C-alpha cells in the first residue's frame, strides 16, 4: 500500500479515482503551536506525509503538474515540498503543515505571470460534506436565470478554496478567498494565522517556507457573515473532499515557467468539488492521547482562538 493511501468506495471516489488519503487527528492535549516551527509534526507517521513522490492508486503521481509547465518532471533542486493534512474533533478544525523549498521565491505580483495572484502560494480547498459539484463559476443564465447577485452569493457556499499567501506584501489577505474577496472567516476562531510561518529567504532568492495553519469547513458559507453560515461537523471515520494545489510561479522571463500542481492533476479544482481528493478523518493515536510535550492550555497562537 502506498503511503497514506486506501481504496475508495464508488460512493466517495473523486480524483484520483480509487484513492483515499489519510488525515491525522491531533489529541486535544497535544495540538501544535502555530508558529512555523514544524518540530511538533515529527510525531506524525510517514503514512500521512504527502510530497511530489507520493504515488496515486495506479502508480502515477499522487500530486502532479496541472497548469502551466505541465510537462515538467520532479526536480527537487527547483521545487520540493511536503505537507500534512490533520484535524481535531474537539476544535472542529483542519490543521495543515506546509514545508517548501524553492530555488526562486516569487512574492512580487508585478514580476510574476500566470494564475493564482502571480506569486508562490499553496491553494487549499475543502468540501466538508463531500457532496462534490460546481461551487463557483456557474452558468449564470442556466443555473440562476441571469441573476448575477445569486451567482455571486453561490461562490464558495458549499465548498471553499483559498490561496495561502505566506510572506506576500501586496496587501491581500494571507488567506485569499479569491472567488469572492470575502474575508470575515480569515481570523480566529475560524482560521489562523497569517504569521504562522518561517521563511528563510526572500523574493528572487533560493529559500524555504515552513508554515502551519487551521481553517473551518463550511456546509453553508454565507458571504454576509457567520450568522447564516453552517460549520461542517468533522467526525472520525468520515471522508471529506480536499483540494491541494501548490503554485510555483518563478520569475517572468526565466527558463522555468510557472507551474500549478494538484492532487491527481485535475485542472478544474478551482470550481468543481467533484475533482477534490478524498481524505479519511482518522482516530487519535492513543499513544499520544496523554502527550505532555505540549500543554493543552499553552498552544501559542491558537490558545485564545476558541471559546472555552
Q: What is the pLDDT of residue 307?
A: 32
Q: Which sign does the torsion angle of CA 12, 96, 262, 275 carry?
A: positive
Q: Are 266 and 16 in contact (CB under 8 A)?
A: no
Dihedral pair phi/psi, residue 20, rounded to 5°: -135, 125
Ramachandran bin of 43, using left for φ above 0, alpha for ψ from -120 to 50, beta for the remaining angles: alpha
Q: Are 164 and 122 in contact (CB under 8 A)?
A: yes
Q: What is the pLDDT of residue 149?
A: 85
Q: What is the pLDDT of residue 275?
A: 87
Q: Which residue has the cell 463557483?
A: 136
**pTM of the prediction?**
0.85
> Digits of tens for pLDDT over the chain (308 positions)?
344 655 544 344 477 777 889 999 999 999 999 999 999 999 999 999 999 888 776 666 677 777 666 666 778 888 899 999 999 999 999 999 999 999 989 887 654 444 566 688 999 999 999 998 888 777 777 777 888 888 888 888 899 999 999 998 888 899 999 888 899 999 999 999 999 999 999 988 999 999 999 999 999 999 999 999 999 999 999 999 999 888 888 755 555 556 777 776 667 887 788 889 999 999 998 776 654 444 333 333 333 333 33
Q: What is the pLDDT of residue 304?
A: 36
Q: What is the pLDDT of residue 273?
A: 87
In whole angstroms, what is the distance from residue 240 CA to residue 262 CA?
17
Domain range summary for the chain, segments of one domain joined by +: 5-302
CATH number of the domain located at residue range(s) 5-302 in this protein: 2.60.40.1190
Q: What is the pLDDT of residue 209?
A: 97
| Closest among 156, 169, 148 to 123, alpha carbons compared | 156
Q: What is the pLDDT of residue 255?
A: 54
| Residues constituting the chain | 308
Amino acid at each position: 500500500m502506498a503511503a497514506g493511501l486506501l481504496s475508495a468506495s464508488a460512493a466517495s471516489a473523486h480524483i484520483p479515482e480509487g484513492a483515499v488519503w489519510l488525515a491525522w487527528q491531533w489529541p486535544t492535549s497535544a495540538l501544535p503551536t502555530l508558529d512555523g516551527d514544524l518540530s511538533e509534526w515529527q510525531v506524525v507517521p510517514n503514512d500521512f506525509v504527502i510530497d511530489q513522490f507520493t504515488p496515486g492508486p495506479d502508480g502515477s503521481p499522487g500530486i502532479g503538474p496541472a497548469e502551466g509547465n505541465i510537462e515538467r518532471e520532479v526536480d527537487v533542486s527547483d521545487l520540493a515540498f511536503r505537507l500534512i493534512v490533520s484535524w481535531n474533533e474537539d476544535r472542529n478544525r483542519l490543521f495543515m503543515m506546509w514545508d517548501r523549498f524553492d530555488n526562486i521565491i516569487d512574492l512580487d505580483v508585478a514580476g510574476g505571470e500566470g494564475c493564482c495572484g502571480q506569486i508562490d502560494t499553496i491553494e487549499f480547498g475543502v468540501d466538508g460534506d463531500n457532496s462534490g459539484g460546481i461551487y463557483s463559476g456557474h452558468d449564470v443564465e442556466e443555473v440562476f436565470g441571469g441573476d448575477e447577485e445569486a451567482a455571486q452569493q453561490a461562490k464558495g457556499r458549499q465548498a471553499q478554496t483559498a490561496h495561502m499567501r505566506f510572506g506576500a506584501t501586496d496587501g491581500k489577505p494571507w488567506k485569499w478567498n479569491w472567488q469572492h474577496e470575502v474575508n470575515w472567516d480569515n481570523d480566529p476562531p475560524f482560521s489562523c494565522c497569517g504569521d504562522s510561518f518561517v521563511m528563510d529567504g526572500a523574493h528572487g532568492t533560493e529559500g524555504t517556507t515552513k508554515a502551519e495553519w487551521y481553517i473551518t469547513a463550511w456546509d453553508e458559507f454565507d458571504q454576509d457573515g457567520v450568522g447564516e453560515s453552517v460549520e461542517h461537523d468533522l467526525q472520525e471515520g468520515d471522508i471529506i473532499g480536499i483540494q491541494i494545489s501548490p503554485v510555483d510561479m518563478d520569475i517572468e522571463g526565466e527558463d522555468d515557467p510557472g507551474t500549478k500542481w494538484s492532487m491527481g492533476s485535475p485542472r478544474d479544482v478551482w470550481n468543481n468539488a467533484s475533482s477534490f481528493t478524498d481524505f479519511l478523518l482518522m482516530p487519535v493515536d492513543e499513544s499520544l492521547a496523554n502527550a505532555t510535550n505540549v500543554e493543552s492550555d499553552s498552544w501559542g497562537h491558537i490558545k485564545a482562538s476558541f471559546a472555552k
